[in-house]
Amino acid sequence: MKYNQRKVNHSVKVTENSNGSKIRINTVVIGEPAKWLNEWKRRGLVTSYTDAIIQALRAFNERVIEQDLKSAQLGNIKRTEEEF
Report pLDDT for 7. Answer: 45
How many domains are contained in the chain?
1
* Alpha-carbon torsion, ordered 17, 20, 23, 29, to 10 deg: -150
Residue 23 vs residue 44, higher pLDDT: 44
pLDDT band at 4 (very low <50, low <70, confident <90, very high): very low
pLDDT band at 11 (very low <50, low <70, confident <90, very high): confident
What residues does 17 pair with on adjacent strands?
20
Q: For residues 26 and 10, is the Cβ–Cβ distance under 8 A?
A: yes
Range of the domain at 49: 3-83
Q: Residue range 56-63: average pLDDT?
A: 97
pTM: 0.68
pLDDT of 2 strictly over 60: no
Report pLDDT for 56. Answer: 95
Expressed in angstroms, the distance from the first to the final Cα of the chain is 67
